[in-house]
Amino acid sequence: MDFSIKAFDTKNTIASAKTGVVAVAVFENKKLSQAAKALDGSGEISAALKSGDITGKAGTTLLLRGVQGVTAERVLLVGLGSDDGAVSEKSFVSGVSATIKAFGALGASDAIIALPMTEVKERDVNWAIRCVVQAGHEAVFRTDGQKSKKDPAPAGVKKIALAVPATGETKLALAQAVAIANGMDLTKELGNLSANICTPTHLANTARQLGKDYKFDVEVLDRKQLEALKMNSFLSVTNGSEQPPKFIIIKHMGGKAKDAPVVLVGKGITFDTGGISLKAGPGMDEMKYDMGGAASVLGTMRAIGEMNLKLNVIGVIASCENMPSGRATKPGDIVTSMNGLTIEILNTDAEGRLVLCDALTYAERFNPAVVLDVATLTGACIVALGHHKSGLFTRDDDAHNALADEIMAAGKAAGDTAWRLPIGEEYNEQLKSNFADLANIGSPGGASCTAAAFLENFTRKYTWAHLDIAGTAWKSGGAKGATGRPVPLLSNFLIGRTERTARTTRN
């Protein structure tokens, strides 16, 4: 899908625009949007509303062909619900998705979307642009890469022009929206790819390719190097696997050389069987998505590479499989992590924290401004928050509260929300072991919080936040597939940081 901006004025009118289809809004009270009025010289649009052919209810559409006085071949009327001076976010989203769906069934190849993009309640035009671009990408996204017979090629509209003022702001918003959508596509592709193909080596090769495409500095550490770094906690997870572990470092140094980087740390378990603490059979295939954190780090790097964001960002990915075998780690085994803390592995299925803790220790060397780790860490996070919001954990002090607010706001603005959950001494107490410094599982209750508290032990040298994306990285059931989350949240967070850096430099 190709997107552009097309501004209209009194000379260059929507009515005279040459295109396959123009989408304009109508409302439940039979009112027409500005753009709909501009196409209603012949009264055909008002007549369609009057006759009840379209109610204006959010998400309804009606296609008119050959409207008099309109150059476009077709006019798509899109219901946006009630019109009390502004459109609700929910109505706009459902109107956009109905528009994109209708476009897919047309003989037209290009379109103009002239919906009221600047009139959405509590949202700006940037948000509306992202909403359209994401819906467009979603519609043409294919999951047939591993099918011998490909699904039918997407039909209909391939080029969409957005009728908004062509300002520096909207042009930048469109470029960012496309970059984020491309990043999400990469995250989704990696997630959906079967685990026999999407191995740690595949993730490393993907990072190397991104390095070539966007001039990132990419480094991949193998087992020998990880042993030299004393990453025994990470290495304990890979023991049962035939696939070599990979530790990936990917750098976008778009800021000033002296600026402290943002470090994104991703959990990259390309398949989680649970190890000796083997998971139950049904639905285990979904544990191919256990590299969702890593995939979102790579997707976000792609997005900021395409934007050429003026910020230093380093992605760190700890990737391996969690398999049972004669060589696999056993419950009760004790390992010494890279930072010296010893860990009693009471459950080999709590492996995410074992790979992350060493990656978090490794991140110290970058003197980071902030470290954000992203992980499909706990099933309990789905129990707590469902599939709507990612779990967000930070320490409870002023700097970390401000960070939590910043991340929550970035997610909200991106339509990729997170919700704060607690960590603290109480949860850390649950991780006591009789034989080691820490156990890798907590006593019963609050499993997402004890997992986060475990990680906290390894992050005391910098400002840190943890995102548990177990419920948001993919969908199960008939719609099984990766979502591309939390790429929008992360990208928006980094865009916000860039703007903040630019402001402080100017002052």
Q: Under the rule (CB under 5 A), what is the footprint of Mn ion?
A: 272, 349, 351
**Using CA atoms in the order 5, 11, 15, 16, what is the torsion angle rounded to 10 degrees?**
-90
* 373 part of the interface to ligand BES, by CB under 6 A: no
Side-chain-side CA neighbours of residue 187 (13 Å): 35
Site residues for ligand BES, 388-407, by CB under 6 A, read: none
Nearest-approach distance from CB 287 to ligand BES, in angstroms: 6
Side-chain-side CA neighbours of residue 126 (13 Å): 12
- Tell me which of Zn ion, Mn ion, ligand BES, none is bound by residue 61, counting a contact when its beta carbon lies within the kind-specific cut-off of 5 to 8 angstroms: none
- In the chain, DSSP finds a helix count (H) and a strand count (E) of 15, 19
- Tell me which of Zn ion, Mn ion, ligand BES, none is bound by residue 468, counting a contact when its beta carbon lies within the kind-specific cut-off of 5 to 8 angstroms: none
Active site residue 353: yes
* 456 part of the interface to Zn ion, by CB under 5 A: no
Per annotation, catalytic residue among 31, 142, 279, 480:
279
Q: Among 349, 358, 373, 416, which residue interacts with ligand BES (rule: CB under 6 A)?
A: 349
Alpha carbon distance, N-terminus to C-terminus of the chain:
40
Return all residues near 301 (Cβ < 8 A) that are at least 6 apart. 183, 207, 210, 214, 216, 250, 252, 264, 313, 315
Q: Do 459 and 428 form a contact (C-beta atoms < 8 A)?
A: no
Q: CA–CA separation, 291 vs 469, rounded Å?
A: 11
Sheet holding 74-79, edge to edge: 2-5, 159-162, 110-113, 21-26, 74-79, 61-65
Active site residue 279: yes
Site residues for Zn ion, 321-360, by CB under 5 A, read: 352
State the number of binding residues for ligand BES (CB under 6 A). 15
* 379 part of the interface to ligand BES, by CB under 6 A: yes
* 347 part of the interface to ligand BES, by CB under 6 A: yes
* 272 part of the interface to Zn ion, by CB under 5 A: yes
- Tell me which of Mn ion, ligand BES, Zn ion, none is bound by residue 300, counting a contact when its beta carbon lies within the kind-specific cut-off of 5 to 8 angstroms: none
Residue 197 CA, distance from chain mean position: 22
Q: Do 276 and 330 form a contact (C-beta atoms < 8 A)?
A: yes
Which span sits near Zn ion by CB under 5 A: 201-209, 248-256, 269-277, 355-363?
269-277
Nearer to Zn ion, 356 or 372 (CB): 356
Q: Do 323 and 237 form a contact (C-beta atoms < 8 A)?
A: no
**Using CA atoms in the order 164, 166, 167, 172, what is the torsion angle rounded to 10 degrees?**
90
Q: How far is CA 65 from CA 21, 32, 42, 341, 409, in A?
A: 9, 18, 13, 70, 43
Nearest-approach distance from CB 241 to Mn ion, in angstroms: 13
- Tell me which of Zn ion, Mn ion, ligand BES, none is bound by residue 185, counting a contact when its beta carbon lies within the kind-specific cut-off of 5 to 8 angstroms: none
Nearest-approach distance from CB 352 to Zn ion, in angstroms: 5
* 290 part of the interface to Zn ion, by CB under 5 A: yes
101: left (phi > 0), else alpha (psi -120 to 50), else beta? alpha
Site residues for ligand BES, 279-338, by CB under 6 A, read: 290
Nearest-approach distance from CB 476 to ligand BES, in angstroms: 9
* 468 part of the interface to Zn ion, by CB under 5 A: no
Residue 376, both tokens: 């499909």
- Tell me which of Mn ion, ligand BES, Zn ion, none is bound by residue 378, counting a contact when its beta carbon lies within the kind-specific cut-off of 5 to 8 angstroms: ligand BES
Q: Among 272, 321, 344, 373, which residue interacts with ligand BES (rule: CB under 6 A)?
A: 272
Q: CA–CA separation, 146 vs 452, rounded Å?
A: 36
Nearer to Mn ion, 73 or 333 (CB): 333
Q: Do 226 and 316 form a contact (C-beta atoms < 8 A)?
A: no
Which span sits near ligand BES by CB under 6 A: 39-47, 64-72, 241-249, 373-381?
373-381
Task: Just list the catalytic residues.
Answer: 279, 353
- Which residues of the shown chain bind Zn ion in the complex (CB under 5 A)? 269, 272, 290, 352
- Which residues of the shown chain bind ligand BES in the complex (CB under 6 A)? 272, 290, 347, 349-352, 376-380, 441, 447, 470
